[in-house]
Amino acid sequence: MFDFEKLNVYLKAKEYNKKVYNFMLTSKLDRTTYDQLRRASFSIMLNIAEGSGRSSKADKRRFYVISRGSAFECVAIFDYLKDINAINETQFKSFYDDLDELSRMLFSMMKSLS
């Protein structure tokens, strides 16, 4: 088993990605928004995995910073989708809450590596 597979933040990021994937199967997003949301969502999980494999604290932290930035990017996308009525308030809140939790977890990991 790889170290990242034991991390709660990784497991939550993986669940979030499944949720986004299922949302995207039924949504009618334009290609640009679809691609950007998919990449940003996937980036959260992948950077957690990559960061966990780095040997220096600074290197690990850098990947967690990138992962957290991708979470912020996803929030902005969902905020936009809410504004154009592509998602409702309930859907927005659900994704927002997931991303807020991931962001907080990543921030704690970043702080512990400073």
pLDDT score for 114:
86
Asked whether residue 37 carries a pLDDT value surpassing 90, the answer given is: yes
| Number of domains present in the structure of the chain | 1
Asked whether residue 8 carries a pLDDT value surpassing 90, the answer given is: yes
Domain that holds residue 40: 3-112
pLDDT by residue (tens digit) across 73-109? 999 999 999 999 999 999 999 999 999 999 999 999 9
CATH of the domain at 75: 1.20.1440.60
Contact 63, 48 (CB under 8 A): yes
Helices (H) and strands (E) in the chain, counts: 4, 0
